[in-house]
Structures are given as structure tokens and as C-alpha cells.
């Protein structure tokens, strides 16, 4: 089965300068477009890829990158939630105009529904730990 999808790759500083993404083409025969790429002052890399073609190959390629220590998440409207930075304080829930960020009363965890996000970036400004991120 073929599909087109966009994913966000976050590289730890140890691997930010390694040509790991090239391996997607060389090892797995994947076709991709690099939509955005940046390196932070701390040498952490961020890349947005559009993957095209065979779903199974895509899964294998992304598994390879995860094994190399990359954090991979689907791209949705240019806003993402970095779960490891979130301590579920709820500050973003109050500013989110669409309910895309919401508190589950059962476990007091804050979740992000990317389908409801309009990329207003209010949460990006209000999050004390920079868990909400707008991609440039």
C-alpha cells in the first residue's frame, strides 16, 4: 500500500550532523522531500519530511531512525507537543481556543488533539517547559 505523510524528526545533538536521512533512500528505497530543517544552538536537529510511497518501507525506515535515537512524530498544522517536556500543569489548556489541548479528568493528563489545532501558537507562548512547539 502506498501513502504520503509528513513526519517531524528530532535529532539528538550526537547525531545532528550524521547523514542518517540519506539511509532512507539508500537502505529502504524511500522517496522523500525535506520540507524544513534546522539545527538549534545546542546542536539539536529538527527536520520535517514528506514520505511518499510504500507504507511498509516507510515503517522500516522510520524504525531504523528510531533505533538511531531520533524522536519521530507525525506533523500536524505545524504545532507539536513534546511529551517528555510536559508535566501536565494545564497552563496550555486554558489558552487553547479550540479544545485541541484538554485535560482528561480521569488521569489528570493533558492531551493534544492535532485535528482540532488551528496553529494559533497561544500554547507555545504559555507553556513553561516549551513542550508546545511551532515549527518554523
Residues between 113 and 132 that touch ligand SF4 (CB under 6 A): 117-123, 126-127, 129, 131-132
Using the contact rule CB under 6 A, the part of the chain among 14-22, 55-63, 64-72, 94-102 near ligand SF4 is: 94-102
Q: Does 135 bind ligand SF4 (CB under 6 A)?
A: no
Hey, which bits of the chain come out as E strands? 2-11, 31-39, 45-54, 71-74, 79-81, 101-104, 109-112, 132-134
Q: State which residue, 47 or 92, has the beta carbon closest to ligand SF4.
A: 92
Query: 45-54 and 79-81: which strand pairing?
Result: unpaired
> Which residue, among 14, 9, 16, 63, has the nearest Cα to 39 in the 3D structure?
16
Partners of 50 in beta bridges: 6, 33
Q: Does 52 bind ligand SF4 (CB under 6 A)?
A: no
Q: Which residue in 4, 38, 55, 98 binds ligand SF4 (CB under 6 A)? A: 98
Pull the grid cell for residue 26. 539508500
Residues within the interface to ligand SF4 (CB under 6 A)? 79, 81, 86-92, 95-98, 100-101, 110, 117-123, 126-127, 129, 131-132
Amino acid at each position: 500500500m502506498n501513502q504520503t505523510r509528513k513526519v517531524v524528526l528530532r535529532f539528538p545533538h550526537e547525531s545532528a550532523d550524521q547523514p542518517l536521512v540519506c539511509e532512507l533512500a539508500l537502505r529502504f528505497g524511500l522517496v522523500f522531500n525535506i520540507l524544513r530543517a534546522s539545527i538549534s544552538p545546542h546542536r539539536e536537529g529538527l527536520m520535517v519530511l514528506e514520505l511518499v510511497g510504500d507504507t511498509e518501507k516507510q515503517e522500516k525506515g522510520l524504525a531504523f531512525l528510531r533505533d538511531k535515537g531520533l524522536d519521530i512524530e507525525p506533523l500536524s498544522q505545524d504545532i507539536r507537543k513534546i511529551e517528555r517536556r510536559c508535566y501536565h500543569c494545564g497552563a496550555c489548556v486554558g489558552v487553547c481556543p479550540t479544545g485541541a489541548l484538554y485535560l482528561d479528568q480521569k488521569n489528570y493528563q493533558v492531551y493534544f488533539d492535532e485535528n482540532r489545532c488551528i496553529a494559533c501558537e497561544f500554547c507555545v507562548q504559555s507553556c513553561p517547559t516549551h513542550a508546545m512547539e511551532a515549527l518554523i
